Amino acid sequence: SQQGEEDPQALSIQEGENATMNCSYKTSINNLQWYRQNSGRGLVHLILIRSNEREKHSGRLRVTLDTSKKSSSLLITASRAADTASYFCAPAGNMLTFGGGTRLMVKP
Amino acid sequence: GAGVSQSPRYKVAKRGQDVALRCDPISGHVSLFWYQQALGQGPEFLTYFQNEAQLDKSGLPSDRFFAERPEGSVSTLKIQRTQQEDSAVYLCASSLAGGTKGEKLFFGSGTQLSVL
């Protein structure tokens, strides 16, 4: 299956701490994307990292990709209560598919 | 439009009823996807359109599910003879380019379907 599997399934941290979420996948990819979903809303694209890239930054987000290990990580630095959401990785091969997500709670 | 629009936002159906869910993608977007999301789970792929052509319907769970996009813009997902297990959020997404090589997707807010 192409879909990613996120780890941990749930994460609870204090505001100001960093949050790290991991993703593993099984087959070759063109790119890997991370999405965020607030409760009751659709998914919002956060960042895309191509298969020939190893690291990418966007604001407080840092994504890494290790194609040899078929894994990626998403780091959110200096977390805020507003970062509370579910985060999904989407390895992109022939179709964009999603895992079960990591539910992040940031306590004020 | 400014974003992907889905209607209705909520739908309650009695078991056995037919329902139709609408998706208005971003104007000019070639690709359109439907996903089903059960409570606490990630979105599961249902079907994919490139313009008006339905190129992949491998995720549709049964022949009670039918999707169309006749003019390559608005899409409708129809579920016939709804069952309780159809209760979920149905998400529509669109992307600018054709093809399925991992383009960035823009999602609507979804239709929450409850079958009683």
In A43-62, the residues whose Cβ lies within 8 Å of chain B are 43-45, 48
Q: Give the residue, B103 or B105, on which the prediction is more confident.
A: B105
Structure tokens belonging to residue B109: 């807010």
B83 contacts B18 by C-beta, under 8 angstroms: no
Within-domain flag for B109: no
Among A90, A94, A99, select the one facing B100 at the smallest CB separation. Answer: A94
For B80, the domain range is: 5-101
Domains of chain A, CATH where assigned: 5-107 (2.60.40.10)
Amino acid at position A81, single letter: A
pLDDT(A95) > 90? no
Q: For residue B106, which residues of chain A lie inside 8 Å, CB to CB?
A: 45
CATH number at residue B86: 2.60.40.10
Q: How confident is the model at residue A94 (pLDDT cuts 50, 70, 90)?
A: low
Q: Give the residue, A95 or B21, on which the prediction is more confident.
A: B21
A41–chain B Cβ distance below 8 A for any pair: yes
Cα separation, B107 vs B21, whole angstroms? 15
pLDDT score at B103:
82
Within-domain flag for B66: yes
Within-domain flag for B110: no
Asked if the Cβ–Cβ distance from A45 to B106 is below 8 Å, we say yes
pLDDT score at B101:
65
Name residue B65's beta-bridge partners: B79
Q: How many structural domains does chain B have?
A: 1
pLDDT score at B97:
82
Among B48, B56, B104, select the one facing A48 at the smallest CB separation. Answer: B104
B11 contacts B114 by C-beta, under 8 angstroms: yes
> Tens digits of per-residue pLDDT, B67-102?
999 999 999 999 999 999 999 999 999 998 876 667
Within-domain flag for B76: yes
> Tens digits of per-residue pLDDT, B11-61?
999 999 999 999 999 999 999 999 999 998 999 999 999 999 999 999 999
